Each structure stands twice: as structure tokens, then as C-alpha cells.
Amino acid sequence: MNEQPSNWVRADPGVPVIRNVNWGGLRTLYVKEVRRFFKVQLQTVWAPAITTLLFLVIFTVALGGSGRTVDIGGQSIHFADFIAPGLIVMGMLQNAFANASFSLLVGKIQGNIIDYLMPPLSTSELIAALAGASVTRAVLVGCAVWLAMLIWPGVHVIPRHFWAVVWFGLTGSVMLAFLGLLTSIWAEKFDHAAAVTNFVVAPLSLLSGTFYSIKHLAPSFQIVSHFNPFFYVISGFRYGFLGVADSPIGLGAALLLAIDVALGSLCYALLRTGWKLKS
């Protein structure tokens, strides 16, 4: 007589056997996404790091070569030290978006989107794997840039408040990962994703106070800057290295958490309904 183990679960048709988190499936999809961008790491990790370093070289030579400083929080900060943290996290944000905006979009274009929708993964697990891989790429780019700046002459990037570096780096990367997922759900071709990159992500990151203190702007432009979520990421991340910031750190930390929750909920709702993914 063939007896089944007592811990087997016999499910009725349509009833999921995996009742909790499918850790195996989540890990598999996460590893698959990490391997996808890591196979071309010269393009996905090292090239963005070099591009970010070129920003540092150009701006320090052009604007900071004569010992220029920036007044922020009542302190006079050397220009290279001021822009270095912003450049690190800006590279992280842009690469988190680039990675997240690719997976589902290329699946739709190549016709293999079913590979993401058919496995026994819940909507939350799918989001966690895709966003987690994007944040991983962002962290790798950030670490590569930080290590290069650490040995760069005239630049000091030793964290003073490590918790702020971690919090604003991760919440900012998660924000762009969710935005990238929303883009990949909405976009129907690569031109659509490129439009979001060129007309949303790039302007918001460049106008976030990376290269200047917003206190030097006109009052009206300061108000506009405070509506830019990238500004709070840059300011908080810079606080982690310099100990000074253009914005209240607690407000920025709470605001980014709220934005992440809102974007994550929107991703969940759209993926659960299959909007522009299921025909």
C-alpha cells in the first residue's frame, strides 16, 4: 500500500498549495534578475560608476579648482566634498530605475511576459524580487563610486551618520525601483521608457540640489525644489556624510517612506489586475 507523508498538502483545484511566502521562487527570480544585469556588469555597474566620476572631475575642475566652498547649515564645505555624496546617490537612483524599467518591458516586447506571470509567485513576491534586484544594482553602483571617491585626491567621503546613508540610499533606490516597475508596466516600447528617463528622472535628479545648495536659489525656486522628492534623497544622503543638510532630516525620511508605500501599493494594484500585461 502506497501511503503519502502526513505533511503533504492535498489542495482542491484552484486552491494554492503554497500558503505562505514562496521563498524558493522569490529567491530564484531575484537571482535571475541579478544575474541578468551582472552578466553585462561593464555596462550596468562600471560604466555608470565611471560616468558619475566624470561628473565629479568636470565640476570640481571647472568650479572647485580654486578652493571654492559651499555654505550649508552654517558650515563652509569644500565643493568637492559637497557634491560627492549627491553624485553617489544620483548614480544609485538612475540605475535602480534603469534596471526596474527593463524586465517586464522586454518581456512584453519579446512575448515572454508569461515567464513572469505564470510561476507560483504572488504579486508581492514578484514586486519584491524585481525591486530587490534593482536595489542591488543601485547599491553595487553606489559602492563602486564610493570606493573610487575614497581614494580620489581632495575628496572626503567618510560617513558621519551611517544610518542616514543607509536609510536615504535604500528608500531612494526603492522609490526609483517602484517608479521603474510602473514605467515597465505602462510602456509598450523602449521609447516610452526612454521618455520617462529623459523627461522625468534625469531632470528631477539634476535639479535636486546635487550641484548646489537650494538656499542660494530665489525663494520661489526653493519652494519648487521642496516638491521634488529627489531633493530629500540627496539632502538626507549628504547629511550622512557631512552632518549638515538643506532640509529637515526627519521630514525627509518620513516623506520618502510614505512615497515608497504609495508607489509600492500602486505597483501592487496594477500588477494584480494585469493592466497592460494580460491580453
Q: From first to last of its 279 residues, what are the pLDDT tens digits of the chain?
A: 444 444 444 556 655 566 688 899 999 999 999 999 999 999 999 999 999 888 888 887 776 555 688 888 778 888 889 999 999 999 999 999 999 999 899 988 888 888 888 888 999 999 999 999 999 999 999 999 999 999 888 888 999 999 999 999 999 999 999 999 999 999 999 999 999 999 999 999 989 988 888 888 888 988 999 999 999 999 999 999 999 998 899 999 999 999 999 999 999 999 999 898 876
The 8 Å CB, 24+ separation contacts for 24-28 are: 25/119, 25/120, 25/121, 25/125, 26/121, 26/125, 26/128, 26/129
The model's pTM = 0.90
The CA-to-CA distance between both ends of the chain, in Å, stands at: 47
Is residue 203 within a helix (H) or strand (E), and if so which, with residue range?
helix 202-206
Q: Which grid coordinates are listed for 143?
A: 559602492
